Structure 1
Amino acid sequence: MLECFKKPFDESLRIARDIGADALQIGLFALNQSAGERAEALDKMKAHGLRVSAVCGDLGGHGFTRAEDNAAKIETSKRIMEMALAFEADVVTTHIGVIPADKGGCYGVLAEACAELGRFGEQCGARFAIETGPESPEVLRDFLAQLPTKGIGVNYDPANLVMVTGADPIEGVATLKDWIVHTHAKDGVMLKQTDPAVIYGYFADGGIEDFRMEEYFRELPLGQGRVDIPAWLAALSKVDYDGFVTIEREVGSDPVGDIAMAVRYLKEMMRR
């Protein structure tokens, strides 16, 4: 992901090229840009031999779990899908909020929002991809299966499953195979089990500093956590996934070094 470098735009492009990346996932820096400004940014990426794998369209807060907030968030998300297409990408990734396993509470609100966004995606040629993490792959699969649209997919992040739910990230690939349209290559470890809704609630309310996150889970450089990366890549291959494997490194004192190492590691694994 471009923002993981924590560098200015042009410098990040040079770094991505130099470490051997083929594509970048971008954030919302271009949401309010003109068509000309977006075209200029895309031309810069292409000049470095880079494509856009997806746009991260996460709007923060409680996702789409609160009906009173959804009209504005849905319209913004539609504009983000249009932005993705302007960058020649057809996937927008996001966290929608915690899907209730018992189908109670905000389940219907989430389904209604995703149905509208999925229909819009079908019309314009984009996919709105829910990132794995706050619920089990089975709960997410059942939620997706009941939607009246094919415009909603999955951004498969194996580390989120390991760190937050404790679900098996290898078995989860088969569970969600019909919906995976993008992936995050990320690693980590769970230190203490807790309710995923509590974790994502702290993120949503902006109080994650009070949560003592380091007591519950830790993101680690690729290959150093509990995600069996070779087995995960093999599982993706087995279900004929041929999309991007996008490195996400959200923490650490040397993100450039960690991402460069991850590029080398993934390319080595993929050659086997």
Structure 2
Amino acid sequence: MVMYSNKIGVMVDSFKLDVRAGIKKAKEVGADGIQIYAVSGSMDPDHLNKDQRKELLNYIKSNGLTVSALCGDLGGHGFTIPEENAWKIEKSKKIMELAKDMETDVVTTHIGVIPEDETNSRYGVLQDACEKLGRFGDRLGATFAIETGPERAKTLKKFLDSLDCNGVGVNLDPANLVMVTGDDPVEAVTTLKDYIVHTHAKDGIMIKKTDPKIIYDFFAEGGIGDLRLEDYFAEKPLGQGKVDFGAYRKALSQIGYEGFLTVEREVGENPERDIKDAVNFLKALLR
């Protein structure tokens, strides 16, 4: 029987508690590590001085945990609007510095929908922003990881191949692919193998296919008319959606990925139970 060496992480914010209570819950459900949103509130890098960062890291370690990644998703339309990018790039750099202080090299985010057409003006805007952050990551020893979902894996790979830096990678979320683009997560692992630095463990189903840009515009704008997201996709507990986790895990092993599988649960009335069930599901998968 194959034994996998991956560690299991959980998104602290999925517990819907404050950061320290979420860290304690992560330990209680049996996780090895945590991912934390670091864009506002107590985790805003502007609100954490050097001593506070050290104290937080010590608290994480005292619970037997490590940080798998920080989430630096600044919302809106990502980096597709040129007028917003100056402040978003500077904020993202601060989050990458905070990540290093938390002893992780990874910051994950959504950058906005990458157009398939390279002549689309948004393509160049995204390239410029990602190259600035990627070069900063090169100097810092950190990776700015684009989360899968808004575009197909082959479109994301083409975009990454076009960048003149090494500090931009991929946070592979298999459920986003299944729910929004209809991509096969196993094929996505192979396509993006040179870039994967972190993964989410999430499951779901597509109900009705539509343009992914419509879905992500809905998230960015807090709703669009009478559009109902539940008509298009649904997140499910691990093992109850369309992600073939056995094949997905095998594919990750075949490309040599030994990093975290981090549980992200964005719906559900009892997040603690759901996250604990997900951790147990992954433990069985990794045996």
Change in Cα spacing, 1:3 to 1:116, as seen in structure 2 (3 Å) is same
Q: Which residue of 1 aligns with 2:7?
A: none
Q: Distance in 2 between matches of 1:208 and 1:43?
A: 43
Residues 1:20 and 2:30 are matched in the alignment: yes
Counterpart in 1 of 2:209? 193
Structure 1 residue 236 corresponds to structure 2 residue 252: yes
Q: How far is the alpha carbon of 1:258 from its aligned partner?
A: 0.7
Match of 1:66 among 81, 86, 94: 81
CA distance in 2, matches of 1:76, 1:253: 32
Cα shift at 1:105: 2.8
Equivalences for 1:181-220 in 2 at 5 Å? 181-207=197-223, 210-220=226-236
Q: How does 1:61-140 map to 2 (within 5 A)?
A: 61-103=76-118, 104-140=120-156
1:56 to 71, 75, 83: 71
The reply to whether residue 172 of structure 1 matches residue 188 of structure 2 is yes
Aligned to 2:272: 256
Give, in whole Å, the separation in 2 of the partners of 1:252 and 1:90: 30
- The code of the aligned residue for 1:184 comes to H
Q: How far off its partner does 1:33 sit?
A: 1.2
Aligned residues: 271
Question: The residue matched to 2:157 in structure 1 has which SS?
Answer: helix
Query: Which stretches in structure 2 are left out of the alignment for 5+ residues?
Result: 1-10
Shift of residue 92, structure 1, vs aligned partner: 0.3
**SS of structure 1 residue aligned to 2:121:** coil
Cα displacement (A) at 1:209: 8.5
**Cα distance change of structure 1 residues 210 and 234 upon mapping to structure 2, 3 Å threshold:** same
Stretch moving more, 56-65 or 99-108? 99-108
Which residue, out of 43, 50, 55, partners 1:40? Answer: 55
The Cα of 1:158 is off from its aligned counterpart by 0.3
**1:3-38 CA distance string (max 9 Å, x none):** 001122332222111111000001114222111111
Identity across matched positions, percent: 57
Equivalent AA in structure 2 for residue 185 of structure 1? A
The match for 1:2 is: 12
- What do you get for the CA RMSD once the two structures are aligned? 1.0
User: Where in structure 1 are there 5+ consecutive unaligned residues?
Assistant: none
Instruction: Give the letter for the 1:101 counterpart.
Output: E
After TM superposition, give the deviation of residue 202 of structure 1 in Å. Answer: 1.1
Return 200-209 or 91-100, whichever deviates more.
200-209
Structure of greater relative contact order (alpha carbons < 8 Å, 6+ residues apart): 2
Q: Distance in 2 between matches of 1:55 and 1:209?
A: 33
Q: Which runs of 4+ in 1 moved over 2 A?
A: 8-11, 208-211
Q: How far, CA to CA, are the matches of 1:10 and 1:80 in structure 2?
A: 19
- How many angstroms apart in 2 are the aligned matches of 1:72 and 1:190? 35
Q: What code does the residue aligned with 1:242 have?
A: E
Which residue is 1:161 aligned to?
177
TM-score (norm 1): 0.98
